[in-house]
Amino acid sequence: GESVGLHLPTLSVQEGDNSIINCAYSNSASDYFIWYKQESGKGPQFIIDIRSNMDKRQGQRVTVLLNKTVKHLSLQIAATQPGDSAVYFCAENYSGNTPLVFGKGTRLSVIA
Amino acid sequence: GAVVSQHPSRVICKSGTSVKIECRSLDFQATTMFWYRQFPKQSLMLMATSNEGSKATYEQGVEKDKFLINHASLTLSTLTVTSAHPEDSSFYICAHFSGNTIYFGEGSWLTVV
């Protein structure tokens, strides 16, 4: 079946730099995308979402970009902090009340 | 906002025993609950969709007789891991849609020894 995937399994960045985590999705019918952060031993924590009628959405220090043409999603974290170290998952959804499909995850390590 | 309460957060059980995990919707009626499993260093994988008052829908490769799902009321969905084996050790988490938002339970860490 169609699935969501990630280009980079690990990412190391210097504290204060910007981080970019990428995600490719294959289901063209998906109309809702979410980024989650998961710290060790905890469940996924919602970061930001975007719907398919948008190509950019900004939150606090985070920006999600959606490129429907190439089916690509990215999460940008500005001024990365040690507390941002975690595994980040993208997830996709379509047709409302259907389950989320998660990508494989990218581990972000922030170097102080 | 909607809250999903999951219990227990951690459980250790002996091989061959059964373990029940509960997810309660605290301030809304959950007609559907999604159950995910996450093995170490892997992503969350959908196991089954729990529907109130009817049989759960299981994903391919998930044994319905081993992972029993009950959704007898609008506020409670349970996942029972029967005859647990060490390879069932994993993180189990439920999720529910409310409006256009997805809410996760806190998750349950199962260790089978």
pLDDT tens string B64-79 = 999 999 988 888 999 9
State how far the Cα of A97 lies from the Cα of B4, in Å rounded to an integer: 16
Query: Closest residue of B to A99, CA-based?
Result: B34
Closest CA relative to residue A40, chosen from A90, A100, A82, A85 = A85
CA atoms of B53 and B35, how far apart (whole Å): 16
User: pLDDT tens digit string along A30-79?
Assistant: 999 999 999 988 888 999 999 999 999 999 999 999 999 999 999 999 99
Q: CA-CA distance, A48 to B43, in Å (whole number)?
A: 18
Q: Is B49 close to A32, i.e. CB distance below 8 A?
A: no
The nearest alpha carbon in chain A to B105 belongs to: A43
- B residues 50-79 near A, CB within 8 Å? none
Question: Is A97 a residue whose pLDDT tops 70?
Answer: no
A48 pairs with which residues across the strands?
Answer: A35
Q: Which band of pLDDT confidence, cut at 50, 70 and 90, is reported for residue A4?
A: low
Check CB contact under 8 Å for A44 and B104.
yes
